[in-house]
Chain A
């Protein structure tokens, strides 16, 4: 029983990493731009399917990961420059319009994925083994996903706190007007944030397709899950997102084992709503002030 419990705990933590991988890019973009990229999941799916095609011609997903991430970096840049930058104004109306624009774009991306790859589920037979430590099996795919998720989060954190670029990104996140008066090129920073966030979605896609089969229409569900996660953590909060991911991972695995698999997939929403009742701005979100 002990062994099982530890196994479950480890699996939960590792799945937390997968959740974090799913949501990391979205969190960055939201944190800096207060923009919810509703095409996030479709970006992940597109990236995953690209990795799938690269695998078909002989590329290992770990090799295609940077290629795909770069492609998504470009796509993210295009989205920001070609689309979101043209939405003027601020306040709730502008937020809603941005939401609508990314929503429309999610249709475009998933439709393109459909036209290229059809809508069959695809996945890559890679990292299917497990590392066994003390009788506890650690699935390779989960290990790699978690590792990349944590590494990416750490890298982004370092980038934000230690580099000049990163600092200007944080400045924009806190006050775009203030940053602009300090001579920060706000447009460039937004471009950078959106591109890096999209590249993170690309990296996620290339790995997740080794774990979860994708089809062209899978993106919507992923966006929702990723978004629920970052909202649970407190929008834009990195530590919050990490806590939320681990909480959801463990809740999901434990529910599946102890309460039944049927409710397990929905448990993230139950946890989410339950947390919101007590903390209306998520785990580590800032409460609004007058």
Chain B
């Protein structure tokens, strides 16, 4: 008995010192994914990749999972759905990876989900649109705040200020459609009035007429479910046409530093919801931010954080199962509740995320500041919007 304990302690000590060397002796656990290293969506993809790599590095330094190191098998899908489908087939059959992660973007995830699911392989995703988690795929599990919930902190803040009316502009894609639908439903449930709601195509570059129209009913809020280029385009048009509201908030686009770089002062006081922020007091966040900055000399974005959390979640699920068994890991992912850097991981029976929530940032004096929920906030929100200078 005592011998066994001593041996165990020795093993741990040695592992602690020589972990990389020893762990490599074991066959690695392969984690596979395709991601847009090149192509139009490479900037967020690269952040996801950094998150994955950091988590894997940390886990390997700590001795791996089940004493086996993790190995990332990655390919560049260039943002092309059919390339992604081909690559996932490759990951499944010729690379024989043990665990799957999702490609960047809901569109590509939707394209590969049927293939991965057909192979009976678990895939933990970091894409927010709901259609892959509506029950049709039993092996796909969501590791990010769902699209339907990302806009809600804006409404919470608005409620506290007594704002009543809003105009919604939404990009015509998965995320835009779902987020704006949920936003409308929640706003109406809270007794607010949606005065204007319109979708625009992803190739839109001129937003002038849309901006005019959104401002005509004089809403309290102008909210947009957007990405980067379109959020900038809409703001430029709002500014040029002098359309204002008490609160102006957009999804995703304003999270990128390029948002402020491209707009300058126009970006001031704009709100953006996010599922993660470096100043959050979530489990392990301080260390994550420190390590991330050390490794990449960058602040982690929410893409990096959800990716990092996904690998950590896999690790926890596998530790719980004790072996690489797809069905068991799948069950564990469905059952597990875990506090990650992003928040509380918990999914429903369909694999849709119900634990992670959303936060609100505001651009204040050229910096993003966490302003909501009040309990976590670093500063007070500046409201109402002071108008265009």
Contact = CB atoms under 8 A, between A and B. Distances in A.
Interface string B38-52: 111111000000000
Contact of A125 (B40, B206, B256, B264): B264
A146 interface: no
A8 B265 contact: no
B203 A261 contact: no
Interface string B256-268: 1010011111100
Interface stretch (B26-34, B113-121, B236-244, B289-297): B236-244
A204 to B, nearest CB: 13
A159 interface: no
Nearest to A22: B205
- Which 4 residue pairs across A and B have the least CB separation, nearest first? A125-B264, A139-B240, A123-B262, A261-B200
A124 B261 CA distance: 7
A228 to B, nearest CB: 12
A212 B208 CA distance: 12
Interface in A238-290: 252-254, 256-257, 260-266
Interface stretch (A71-79, A112-120, A195-203): A112-120
A253 B208 contact: yes
Given A119-B43, A120-B43, A264-B204, A114 B38 contact: yes
A253 B200 contact: no
Interface in B193-235: 198-210, 212-213, 216, 228-229, 232-233
B89 interface: no
A47 interface: no
12 contacts: A120-B258, A121-B262, A123-B232, A123-B262, A125-B264, A125-B266, A139-B236, A256-B207, A261-B169, A262-B172, A264-B206, A265-B202
A140 interface: yes
Contacts of A125: 261-266
Contacts of B205: 211-212, 265
A141 interface: yes
A209 to B, nearest CB: 9
B203 A213 contact: no
A124 B262 contact: yes
Contacts of A124: 262
B240 A253 contact: no
A142 B43 CA distance: 29
A55 to B, nearest CB: 10
A262 B209 contact: no
Contacts of A254: 209
Contacts of B41: 119
A137 B242 contact: yes
Given A122-B261, A254-B209, A217 B39 contact: yes
Interface of A: 4, 7-8, 11, 15, 18, 114, 118-125, 128-130, 132, 137, 139-142, 211-213, 215, 217, 221, 252-254, 256-257, 260-266
B279 to A, nearest CB: 24
Contact of B229 (A141, A212, A263, A266): A212
B225 to A, nearest CB: 13
A121 B232 contact: yes
Interface of B: 38-43, 169, 172, 198-210, 212-213, 216, 228-229, 232-233, 236-237, 239-242, 256, 258, 261-266
A16 B40 CA distance: 27
A262 B198 contact: yes
Contacts of A15: 206, 208
Nearest to A125: B264
A121 B241 contact: no
Given A130-B241, A141-B240, A217-B39, A265 B266 contact: no
B8 to A, nearest CB: 49
Nearest to B258: A120
A261 B262 contact: no
Given A122-B261, A211-B236, 9 more contacts: A121-B258, A142-B208, A211-B205, A212-B229, A213-B258, A256-B208, A260-B198, A261-B204, A262-B199
Contact of B239 (A114, A128, A261): A128
A264 B200 contact: yes
Contacts of A137: 240-242
